């Protein structure tokens, strides 16, 4: 995708130069490199003159980590929390949406995603947001919410995964709260919640 965008804009650039410098068309590869590296979608790019009027272009686009919503539009986010494009500029993937107001908040949320990327629960995540200084909410694809803190360890996530997979069939879960030593499960429609002690 990114290489196609670069080639189209490079062709337009060359055609812009041809009428002015038809007999002495020369491309400044360093200038072109600087120009394309300013594009947020480009991770790195290299131009090589291979002779006989041919140019070799090696380009690498940013890798999509997740999505974010800003001003009612969906944007692409890389592993550093940087917004680098619009949803329509990339092939759609099943990745979570992070709700954050700043790059720093996006980075925090991405760190949480990275922490749990190795367990099956990560596949069920639809959305992740920060709702207070050190408290976060994960929404799974069926609407179940997980309330967590940033220092949550992987073992606690594994327990949450087990609880979710075992209990979702019996009753509709509203949320599982993992912010404390105990875990709390609240079912939809229930006035009471179920509390259990975490086992080591």
CB 124 within 8 A of CB 108: no
- Mean pLDDT confidence for 112-140: 90
pTM of the model: 0.76
Q: DSSP letter string over 134-199?
A: TEEEEEETTS-EEEEETT--HHHHHHHHHHHHHHTTTS-EEEEE-SSSEEEEEETT-SSEEEEEPP
Block residue for tokens 């009612």: 72
Give the domain 66-197 fold.
Rossmann fold (3.40.50)
Torsion of CA 68, 73, 78, 80, to 10 degrees: -60
Phi, psi of 32 (to 5 degrees): -65, -40
The answer to whether residue 36 scores a pLDDT higher than 70 is yes
Distances (CA, A) of 125 to 55, 87, 118: 43, 18, 13
CB 187 within 8 A of CB 195: no
The answer to whether residue 66 scores a pLDDT higher than 60 is yes
Question: Where do the CATH 3.40.50.11690 domains begin and end in the chain?
Answer: 66-197
- The pLDDT-based confidence of 134 (bands split at 50, 70, 90) is confident
Write down the mean pLDDT value for the chain.
81
Q: What pLDDT is stored for residue 200 in this prediction?
A: 37
The answer to whether residue 14 scores a pLDDT higher than 80 is no
CB 165 within 8 A of CB 145: no
- The pLDDT-based confidence of 154 (bands split at 50, 70, 90) is confident
The answer to whether residue 42 scores a pLDDT higher than 60 is yes
């Amino acid at each position: 995708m990114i290489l196609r965008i670069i080639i189209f804009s490079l062709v337009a650039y060359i055609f812009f130069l041809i009428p002015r410098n038809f007999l002495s068309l020369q491309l400044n590869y360093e200038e072109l490199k600087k120009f394309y590296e300013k594009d947020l979608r480009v991770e790195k790019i290299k131009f090589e003159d291979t002779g006989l009027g041919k140019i070799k272009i090696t380009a690498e686009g940013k890798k999509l980590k997740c999505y974010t919503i800003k001003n009612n539009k969906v944007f692409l986010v890389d592993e550093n929390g940087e917004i680098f494009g619009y949803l329509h500029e990339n092939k759609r993937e099943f990745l979570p949406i992070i709700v954050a107001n700043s790059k720093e908040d996006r980075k925090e949320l991405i760190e949480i995603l990275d922490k749990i990327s190795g367990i099956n629960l990560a596949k069920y995540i639809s959305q992740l947001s920060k709702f207070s200084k050190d408290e976060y909410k994960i929404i799974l694809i069926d609407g179940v919410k997980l309330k967590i803190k940033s220092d949550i360890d992987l073992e606690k996530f594994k327990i949450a995964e087990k609880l979710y997979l075992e209990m979702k069939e019996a009753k509709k879960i509203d949320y599982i709260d993992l912010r404390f030593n105990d875990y709390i499960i609240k079912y939809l429609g229930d006035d009471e919640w179920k509390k259990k002690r975490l086992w080591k």
